[in-house]
Chains A and B, each alone.
Chain A
Amino acid sequence: MNLQRTLATAGRILTQIRHDPRTIALLLVVPSLLIGLVAWIFSNTTTFSVIGPSMIALFPFVVMFLVTSITTLRERRTGTLERLLSMPLGKGDLILGYTLAFGLLAVLQSAVAVGFAVWVCGLTISGSIWLLLAVAVADAILGTTMGLLASAFANTEFQVVQFMPALIFPQILLGGIFIARSQLPDGLRQISDWLPLSHAIDAMQAVATNSQDAAYIGGELLIIGAWIVGSIVVGSVTLRRRTP
């Protein structure tokens, strides 16, 4: 692993995205629009104040997962991945470069989403808005690294697209949006305790309602961080230089 090569990779990815303003616009705007849609749907009820924080956890996570896994897939399909892996680029350099580049986009996207939810949709946040942003950013980066992990495991386009329902939907279903996690049947509750999105949603709701202390939020952030690091490590280790 090498910092210079990692930064060169991150810079290259950001330059690519800079040449595609529509992608930047979609990345920054789509999660906010979806949050706005949810707020509108529940505008005659108080539901948005309850599920709003979960939406800030959900949409950037899903969008970053998709964008990252498709971008890495494109790298594979156009042969540039094979070229890079025949060059002195560490697998970790590539994965970390992607994490840095999309992590930066995740920061921007989360900032827009949090701002939109609070100032445009009128979501009440009892706790610190900075803490909310920190959780949102960690959550969006988690989406990025899980996207990287998925595309490292996939050999074809079809496989990587399947990872979206396989890896993401169960986390949404078990994350406490449809039903509080404490009301899940035994077994499922334990599984949901292990899933990173559950912790992101828990942390978002805790900040929004100011129901837990900073140590609790810190603990949740640590769990999300562990998943981020784990995805990077597993993603790097499973990326194959040799393919059939």
Chain B
Amino acid sequence: MLHGLNLSIARGGVVGLLGPSGCGKTTLMRSIVGVQVVKSGSVTVLGESAGSPSLRHRVGYVTQSASVYDDLTVRQNLQYFRAVLKTPKSDVDRVIDATDLGSRAGQLVSSLSGGERSRVSLAGALLGKPELLVLDEPTVGLDPVLRVELWSLFHRLADQGTTLLVSSHVMDEATRCDRLLLMRDGEVLADDTPAGLLASTGAPDTETAFLTLIGQRPSENGNPSSDERGA
């Protein structure tokens, strides 16, 4: 349940959505993608109502657990998603390269490690170069090297004009974002740049900043309606 949420996200850049498990990150992301039943309020994405048919080409979504077919190879998974999106056939090789899966392309997804599976899932979302990428905890369970690589990929995409909304419950990832949304109990506690957040709370790192913010604002359940506006 999201409460009195009223926020808008500008195009371009990496926006981090941070907060503890169960705070509403996934619900917010699913609302933006248009697969969440929204009881009240409106969600506008790229100038259109969230989930409208024309947006399905323009928004890429990666669910928290890798949503790929275990009994297909990496390439077969991507070939199918490509056929659904009707993007050029070469797109499959492009996203395999972008996610560094070249050596795994012919393997069944069921034989891959957890991190590799999430990268296949991410590769599927990169097909067709969507304008908005909604990534639900894409770096969970990845080793530090891979995590750094993925974040540099996110920034490359952002430099090319893609908007990325990336959720995480790991606070140290916050510093890699251009903008931060800190969530708790369905509310957005802060909406600022990482530097701005540290400056306004006087905290040495994001984790402390988050704790400071919670201290300042005891959890309150206000207006139950939500109004979210995306990029």
Contacts and interface: CB of A to CB of B under 8 A. Distances in A.
Interface stretch (B78-86, B94-102, B208-216): B78-86
A159 interface: no
A46 B86 CA distance: 58
A232 B34 CA distance: 24
B151 interface: no
Contacts of B63: 79, 82-83
Contacts of A86: 33-35, 51, 56, 59, 61
B56 A244 contact: no
B68 to A, nearest CB: 7
Interface stretch (B4-12, B69-77, B168-176): B69-77
Contacts of A16: 69, 71-72
Interface string A134-169: 000000000000000000000000000000000000
Contact of B67 (A5, A20, A82, A241): A82
B72 A12 contact: yes
A79 B65 contact: yes
Given A16-B69, A241-B35, A242-B37, A87 B80 contact: no
A27 B191 CA distance: 55
- The CB with the most chain B CB atoms within 10 A, among A15, A80, A84, A85, is that of A80
B83 A80 contact: no
Contact of A80 (B35, B57, B68, B76): B68
Contact of B56 (A20, A80, A88): A88
Interface residues of B, number: 30
B69 A83 contact: no
Contacts of B38: 242
A242 B51 contact: yes
Interface residues of A, number: 25
Contacts, number: 78
A9 B33 CA distance: 22
Nearest to B127: A87
B19 interface: no
B38 to A, nearest CB: 8
B67 A88 contact: no
Given A82-B63, A82-B67, A88-B56, A244 B37 contact: yes
Contacts of A89: 84
Interface string A67-109: 0000000000011101111111100000000000000000000
- The CB with the most chain B CB atoms within 10 A, among A4, A8, A84, A86, is that of A86
B108 interface: yes
Contacts of A5: 83-84, 86
Contacts of A9: 80, 84
B35 A242 contact: yes
18 contacts: A12-B76, A12-B80, A15-B72, A16-B72, A80-B67, A82-B35, A83-B81, A84-B84, A86-B33, A86-B51, A86-B61, A87-B85, A88-B85, A241-B34, A241-B51, A242-B34, A242-B35, A243-B37
Interface of B: 33-38, 51, 53, 56-57, 59, 61, 63, 65-72, 76, 80-81, 83-86, 108, 124
Given A16-B71, A78-B65, 20 more contacts: A8-B80, A12-B69, A12-B72, A16-B69, A19-B71, A79-B65, A79-B66, A80-B68, A80-B69, A82-B63, A82-B67, A83-B81, A86-B56, A87-B81, A87-B85, A88-B57, A88-B84, A241-B34, A242-B36, A242-B38
